[in-house]
Structure formats: C-alpha cells, structure tokens
Chains A and B, each alone.
Chain A
Amino acid sequence: MKRHLLSTEDLGRDDALLVLDTAERMARVAEASVRKLPTLRGRTVVNLFFEDSTRTRTSFEVAAKRLSADVINFSARGSSVSKGESLKDTAQTLEAMGADAVVCRHSASGAPHRLATWVRGSVVNAGDGTHEHPTQALLDAFTMRRRLGRVDGLAVTIVGDVLHSRVARSNVWLLTTLGASVTVVAPPTLLPLGVSSWPVEVSYDLDAVLPKSDVVMMLRVQRERMSAAFFPTEREYSRRYGLDVDRAARLADHALVMHPGPMVRGMEISSQVADSARSTVVEQVANGVSVRMAVLYLLLGGSGETT
C-alpha cells in the first residue's frame, strides 16, 4: 500500500484485493465476543470533516476505535476553520498534534491531495468534492463480493448524477480495475463531457441496460440540480431514470440494488425497491466499518517505511 489513500484511480489491483481480503478478516472480528483489537493502540486518527457527514464520520470513528486508535473529531463547524483558517493552517495544527492518520472530507476536489503534501501522517480521502470517495467504492466492491462471490466479470450499472458524483468516479476506476464491466446511465447533462475517455459503456436508456446488469448502483440526485437546468422536473427525471418496482422487475433474480446513501426515496429509488431483499443498503453500512478498519490497518499497522 502507498502511504495515503487518496483515490481509487491510482489503486492497483493487488492493493485493492489486499484491502478487500483484509476487510473480510476484519468482518470476522465482529463475530468475536470482544470486538476490539489492540492493533493501533497509541495511534491517533483525526477525522477532519469540512463537510457534514455523520454516516461516514461515524463509520471511520467506529473502525478506528475497534482497532484501539485514539480518535479526534475535528469538524469545520464550530472550529477555527469556520473563522477563515486555511487548510494549510489546519494541517499544521494536526501535524503538531501528532496525527498518524487524517481522514479528510472536503467540499473541494483535491483537498486531501493538498493535505497529503503538508502532513507526515497518512491521509485517507473520505470524499472530496466531486472527485473521489475511495472507501465508499471499496465497501461497494466488498459488498458485491460478499453477495455475489466475485467482482471480476460482473456487469455493474451506475445510474444518476455521474457528473457530480465522487462515488461514481471511485467506483468506475475500482470496479474496472477488479475486472467488472461498468455502464453509466444518466441524462447527457449529468455525464461529464470527458466520459468517453472512461473505461465504461455509456447509455441514456436505463430499461435497455437493466436486464443484463448484475448490480445496479443508484446515485443520489440533488433536487437543486433542477434549477441549473440539468433536467426539467423531478417527475421527468424519476420517470426516465428512477428505479421503481416495475423497473426492478426487469432485473435478473440475483441482481443487487445498491445505493451509497443518503437516498432520496421516490426520486431515484422507490421505497419498495430500497427495502427489498435485493437491496444492500443496510449491509453497505456494516461493510463500511470492515473496509475502513482494513484501510486504517494497512496504512497504519506497519511502520510506514514502505512508501
């Protein structure tokens, strides 16, 4: 493993599999009567969240604590960050605190990359702008492997606001690295202009793609995109790209429905589908802890001299 986990684009197949295999072992820890491991005793993990995300922050916090790391939650709200302190000043503060790892969530694409140039510890990208969210993709791949036994060879369809989705980007790189074939489905306005250079198929027709999909990953669509003319109305979006019961019926029996959360029920996914047996929404949360334990272990477990 490299010293930081900033993106899945530069995560090699061997390292990706190492994370997934390690996460599998971590998941077994949950079965022991004592769930806490002494592995990262004496290490400090800082959760540096410039954007609110209780889900992701809690997941990292549980993961770090299960490995006995000390966890400091440093959220932008109520701190000097909201008083105009720069990212660099914050980095220097964390450095002085002796952070071994910084888990960073930021609204600006690339902020964790910058942070990584200013701190000695490991930086884990917990979502940066519309760039990447690598641990989400790793837990998605982990969930697929647990449910379907493999990622290699799966047909995965990613539906929704790909343009603004860090989850989509991280999944595209990771899943294709692991041998899945990925199709992105969205109105053309919600696909990046450069999508043609991605290793994916592009479709505007969800119905045509569903029957051949092993996994359908629904992305959140923010209502405010409407005001910027990305699509005319919520109703039209939902009719063309939402996953309702009728559409879900076109899926193969084994096919999974995934959602990184938080869901907009009734918009991109109907409640019946979100709560159905093929939905992995709940186990994705549990798997998130295992994957984040694996990442923290692999980045911090050793001496870190192999950078």
Chain B
Amino acid sequence: MAVPAAGSPASRRPGVARTVLSADDITRIVSRMAHQILEKTSGGAGVALLGIPTRGVPLAHRLARRVQAVEGVDLPVGSLDPTMYRDDLRLRGVRPLEVTEIPDGGVDGRVVVLVDDVLYSGRTVRAALDALAAYGRPRAVQLAVLVDRGHRELPIRADYVGKNMPTSRRESVAVRLREIDGADGVVILPPAVTPAGDGAPVDGPVVDGPVVDDDGAIGDEAGERA
C-alpha cells in the first residue's frame, strides 16, 4: 500500500489532507472515554479491555492507564485479532495475522470492552465478536472507538465514541498514534480521483508517515471500494 511522495506527478486532485483531531484533542478524548467507561461499568468492576490490532491495541493501553490514574484500578488489557473471522478475505487478499493476547483469567464472566480506532462499516467489529466467542462467554461486550465516521453496514453501534465525524464514503480517515506512527493526530483524506482498486489511496495527499491503518480507517473503506 504505497503512498506516492508529496508532489508526485500522480497527485492530480486538488484536495489536501485535513487535520481534524490534534494530539491534545486525542489526549482529552481518551481521558473522557476512560471516565465514561468507569461510569458505565460502576468503576470498572470485572472489565477487560481488548484492543483490535493495530491501533486499537495502544488505545486500549492508554485507556487502561487513564483508568488507573483516575480510579487506581488496573484493568486487564489484551488484544484480539479478528482477521480469520472476517467475511471479506476473499475480496481483499490474504493479510498477515496479528497478535491475539487474552489477559490472564480469560473472558468468561467479564465485561469485555473492545477498543478500535475507527468505526465504519462495522464488519471488523462483527468479526471481532465472533473471534471473542472462541475464547469464552463474556458477561457483556461493549465497544469503544476513537472515531465514528458513520456509514454502518451492520446493526452495530459503539458504547463509547471519542468523536463522531461525518464523512463521505469516498474520503478516508487516518488515525495516527505515537506508539505506531510516531505522533498523534487524525486526518481526513479527500477522495481519490480514481477509485482505488486495491483500497490504497492511489495518489495520496501531503501526509507524513503511515496513513493507512490496517484494520481501522482506510482498510475498512477499502474493503467497500474493492
């Protein structure tokens, strides 16, 4: 998924990347979401956070750190890779598997909060719910996302939303996180001139660093285009 360098001749479209959330915005949002989780789960009793790779995992850890700072509670954190449960593998080509790390004590009887960066079609979350079922039977499953950009294709909604962000289907939302991309920020990439067959923005705008989240933002949208 190569993004052409800035100013490459391929950049024929006039639009530019729009930063919609700054690093400080993200810090404030994560803090608020941590409070909401505590509020809704009566202080985090029996809660485990499972990040959906790639960027859901550091978000889960950030949420856990905020919860610890606010309430002094250590929530177990893990990761859950839904790749092998996806219904669109044949459309999108084989993808490398990510780590699944179920916290000690498992998921049985716990309140599992799935954490992802972007909620879009809902297909990733659906796959994650199936993946989770293979590991046990949680008392309840909740969903926390940093950005909800709409355009759901399944009856799925998030319990905790950092930011509702109306977008066009032809736009891409790229979440960047310090732990993976070196810096925090959320940008909206304008529509590509030609529909990208493989899901990558063909002639990318001026953005440094990786803009494509394997599983969250552009990836979801890509699945639909393809």
Contact = CB atoms under 8 A, between A and B. Distances in A.
A/B contact in complex, CB under 8 angstroms: yes
A87 to B, nearest CB: 28
Contact of B130 (A1, A38, A67): A38
Given A32-B134, A33-B136, A18 B96 contact: yes
B84 A303 contact: no
Interface residues of A, number: 24
A81 interface: no
B135 to A, nearest CB: 5
Interface stretch (B57-65, B86-94, B146-154, B158-166): B86-94
B219 to A, nearest CB: 14
Contact of A302 (B94, B133, B134): B94
Which secondary structure characterizes the binding site on chain B?
loop
B196 interface: no
Contact of B89 (A32, A39, A305): A39
B57 to A, nearest CB: 15
Interface string A18-31: 10011001101100
A67 B84 CA distance: 9
Given A32-B135, A34-B133, A302 B85 contact: no
Contacts of B96: 18, 21-22
Nearest to B226: A303
Interface in B66-125: 81, 84-85, 89-100, 102
Interface size range of chain B in the complex: 20 to 34
Contacts, number: 58
A306 B94 CA distance: 9
Contacts of A282: none
Contacts of A298: 94
B94 to A, nearest CB: 3
Contact of B85 (A1, A22, A37, A303): A37
Interface in B30-65: none
Given A32-B134, A34-B134, A38-B85, A303 B99 contact: no
A33 B134 contact: yes
B134 A303 contact: no
Contact of B135 (A33, A37, A297): A33
B136 A297 contact: no
A162 B209 CA distance: 49
Contacts of A18: 96
Nearest to B135: A32
Given A1-B94, A39-B85, A301-B94, A25 B99 contact: yes
A69 to B, nearest CB: 12
Interface in A1-23: 1, 18, 21-22
Nearest to A28: B100
A301 B98 CA distance: 14
A301 B130 CA distance: 17
A36 to B, nearest CB: 8
Given A25-B100, A28-B100, A39-B85, A297 B94 contact: yes
A35 B84 CA distance: 12
Contacts of B92: 302-303
A1 B95 CA distance: 11
Given A32-B135, A39-B84, A303 B93 contact: yes
Contacts of A39: 84-85, 89
Contacts of A26: 97
A305 B136 CA distance: 35
Contacts of A29: 84, 134
Contacts of B89: 39, 301-303
Given A25-B100, A28-B100, A32-B135, A38 B93 contact: no
Contacts of B94: 1, 297-298, 301-302, 306
Contacts of B100: 25, 28
A194 B135 CA distance: 51
Scoring A28, A37, A301 by chain B CB atoms within 10 A of each residue's CB, the highest score goes to A301
B141 to A, nearest CB: 16
A36 B130 CA distance: 11
A37 B97 contact: no
Nearest to B91: A303
Which has the most chain A C-beta neighbours within 10 Å: B81, B90, B96, B135? B90
Interface of B: 81, 84-85, 89-100, 102, 130, 133-136
Given A21-B97, A303-B90, A303-B93, 20 more contacts: A1-B94, A22-B97, A25-B97, A25-B98, A29-B134, A32-B134, A32-B135, A34-B134, A36-B134, A37-B84, A38-B84, A38-B85, A38-B130, A39-B89, A298-B94, A301-B94, A302-B89, A302-B90, A302-B94, A302-B95
Interface of A: 1, 18, 21-22, 25-26, 28-29, 32-39, 67, 297-298, 301-303, 305-306
5 contacts: A25-B97, A26-B97, A33-B134, A298-B94, A302-B90
> Nearest 3 A-B pairs (CB), nearest first?
A302-B94, A302-B93, A34-B134
